């Protein structure tokens, strides 16, 4: 892979499992959504312990379909964090609804604060979007309990949290609908791809319908049955996943637990080294049990210039990222939302994401920590 970084943020390595699986898909002679996609859905539903899993084109499509299945539309409000990837919020606006940003809990737990969510409820609140930041287990039950009390569903954006669990329950299954992304930097990948999961039969049927143009039958079903007739009963999309990607997903799913375990070991090493660095706050420090450790966020000391620290690390060949610039501060959102979110803003201004992927070595972790310490000196 062409890569000039000494330690890249994430890295992909595929083996016989992925190559054989994709070869079999190509040899099958059927490439668009079909039997392998059905197998991928069944395997994913089984892995998560959920009734329905619907494979889709990407995580953003998963979110859009989730909001559509709930029926949110113009005039509705969706309470959501600003500390997330913009897709969580864009998909609310695709439906014509308004995002209402709630605060994160504190600088080491950048997840929805149930008290602020309660304050932001209005008669127009139609849904709460909860994000499993970084794939670290958190008390999402508090959000779900509150949502149930007021009678609105929870869409769980579990893009970071594939394989994460809390008290034996997998993330993505706490909300009424869970959404996953299999983008290439995620803990398991299909290059581009996603999955929507739910225990609700009605939501599942609607998501399946809207995934493929609102058509009453799919191409594979018509091919299999010889029936050429269909009707279109709603305004749907082409959000289907194909057989090649599903084949890759099936292979990646068998490696997920092993890769997540490796991520936890590397996170533990990072924390052990960095905990002694005064002034550095470590989100979710020590909260490893059940974590998918999708990313390794650190908060640099207050008053330090984030961009300067990043530039120094990049000069040393260490790739970093930013999870996230708060959505309400992005150009396309600034005019829509003027209220301050001080904890979110502080988190965004201090956060640097360090490299973390299952193919890193302990020596890579040491190198990254060294470079961070030097960059902060």
Ligand X SMILES: Cc1ncc(COP(=O)(O)O)c(C=O)c1O
Q: How far is the CB of 323 from ligand X (least distance, A)?
A: 8
Measured from the Cβ of residue 16, the count of other Cβ atoms closer than 10 Å reads: 9
Q: How far is the CB of 265 from ligand X (least distance, A)?
A: 23
* Contacting range for ligand X; rule: CB under 6 A; set: 2-10, 54-62, 66-74, 361-369: 54-62
Q: Which of 194, 163, 199, 200 is nearest to 179 (CA)?
A: 194
Binder of ligand X out of 92, 130, 159, 210 (CB under 6 A): 159
Binder of ligand X out of 10, 21, 37, 60 (CB under 6 A): 60
Binder of ligand X out of 59, 153, 172, 249 (CB under 6 A): 59
Report, in angstroms and rounded to the nearest whole number, the Rg of the chain calculated over CA atoms.
Answer: 21
Comparing CB distances to ligand X, the nearer of 37 and 60 is 60
- Whether the CA torsion 21, 24, 29, 34 is positive or negative: it is negative
Binder of ligand X out of 40, 85, 136, 337 (CB under 6 A): 85
Q: How far is the CB of 210 from ligand X (least distance, A)?
A: 16
Comparing CB distances to ligand X, the nearer of 62 and 274 is 62
CA distance 92 to 95: 6
In a 13 Å sphere around the CA of 365, the CA atoms on its Cβ side amount to: 21
If residue 141 lies in a helix (H) or strand (E), which one and from where to where? Answer: helix 140-150
Q: How far is the CB of 57 from ligand X (least distance, A)?
A: 8
Q: How far is the CB of 194 from ligand X (least distance, A)?
A: 5
Q: How far is the CB of 312 from ligand X (least distance, A)?
A: 26
Active site residues per annotation? 186
183 near ligand X, judged by CB under 6 A: yes
37 near ligand X, judged by CB under 6 A: no
* Contacting range for ligand X; rule: CB under 6 A; set: 25-33, 58-66, 233-241, 279-287: 58-66
82 near ligand X, judged by CB under 6 A: no
Local structure of residue 318 (DSSP, 8 states):
B
249 near ligand X, judged by CB under 6 A: no
CA separation, residue 364 to residues 14, 60, 267, 291, 318 (Å):
20, 32, 12, 21, 10
Characterize 198-215 residue by residue with b for buried, 16 or more Cβ atoms within 10 angstroms of its Cβ, and e for exposed.
Answer: bebeebbebbbbbbbbbb
103 near ligand X, judged by CB under 6 A: no
Binder of ligand X out of 84, 105, 212, 371 (CB under 6 A): 84
Residues touching ligand X, count (CB under 6 A) = 14
112 near ligand X, judged by CB under 6 A: no
Comparing CB distances to ligand X, the nearer of 110 and 194 is 194
Local structure of residue 156 (DSSP, 8 states):
E
140: Cβ contacts below 8 Å, ≥ 6 apart:
111, 130, 132, 156, 166, 171, 174, 175
- Crossing angle of helices 16-28 and 35-48, in 10° steps, is 140
Phi, psi of 182 (to 5 degrees): -115, 35
If residue 87 lies in a helix (H) or strand (E), which one and from where to where? Answer: helix 86-94
Interface map 121-140 toward ligand X (x if CB under 6 A): ----------x---------
190 near ligand X, judged by CB under 6 A: no
* Contacting range for ligand X; rule: CB under 6 A; set: 80-88, 209-217, 282-290, 296-304: 80-88
As given in the structure block, the two tokens for residue 221 are 């079903």
CA distance 347 to 142: 22
Residues near ligand X (CB under 6 A) are 58-60, 84-85, 87-88, 131, 157, 159-160, 181, 183, 194
């Amino acid at each position: 892979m062409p890569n000039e970084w000494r330690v890249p943020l994430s890295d992909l390595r595929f083996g016989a499992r992925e190559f054989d699986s994709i070869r079999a898909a190509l040899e099958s002679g059927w490439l668009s959504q079909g039997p392998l996609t059905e197998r991928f859905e069944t395997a994913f539903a089984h892995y998560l312990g959920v009734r329905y899993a619907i494979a889709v084109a990407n995580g953003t499509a998963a979110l859009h379909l989730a909001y559509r299945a709930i029926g949110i539309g113009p005039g509705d409000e969706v309470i959501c964090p600003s500390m997330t990837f913009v897709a969580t919020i864009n998909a609310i606006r695709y439906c014509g609804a308004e995002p209402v940003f709630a605060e994160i809990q504190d600088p080491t737990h950048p997840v929805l604060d149930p008290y602020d969510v309660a304050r932001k409820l209005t008669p127009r609140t139609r849904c709460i979007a909860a994000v499993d930041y970084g794939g670290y287990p958190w008390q999402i039950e508090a959000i779900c309990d509150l949502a149930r009390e007021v009678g609105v569903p929870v869409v769980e954006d579990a893009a970071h949290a594939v394989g994460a669990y809390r008290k034996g329950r997998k993330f993505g299954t706490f909300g009424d609908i869970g959404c996953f992304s299999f983008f290439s930097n995620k803990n398991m990948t299909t290059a581009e791809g996603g999955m929507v999961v739910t225990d609700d039969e009605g939501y599942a049927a609607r998501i399946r319908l809207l995934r493929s143009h609102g058509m009453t039958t799919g191409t594979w079903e018509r091919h299999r049955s010889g029936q050429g007739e269909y009707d279109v009963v709603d305004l749907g999309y082409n959000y289907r996943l194909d057989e090649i990607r599903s084949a890759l997903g099936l292979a990646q799913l068998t490696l997920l637990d092993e890769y997540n375990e490796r991520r936890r070991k590397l996170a533990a090493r990072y924390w052990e080294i960095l905990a002694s660095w005064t002034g550095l706050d470590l989100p979710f420090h020590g909260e490893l049990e059940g974590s998918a450790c999708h990313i390794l966020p650190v908060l640099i000391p207050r008053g330090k210039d984030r961009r300067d620290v990043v530039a120094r690390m990049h000069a040393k060949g260490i790739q970093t990222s930013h999870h996230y610039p708060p959505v309400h501060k992005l150009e396309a959102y600034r005019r829509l939302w003027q209220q301050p979110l001080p904890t979110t803003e502080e988190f965004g201004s201090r956060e640097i994401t360090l490299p973390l992927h299952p193919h890193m070595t302990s020596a890579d972790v040491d190198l990254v920590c060294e470079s961070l310490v030097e960059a902060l000196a």
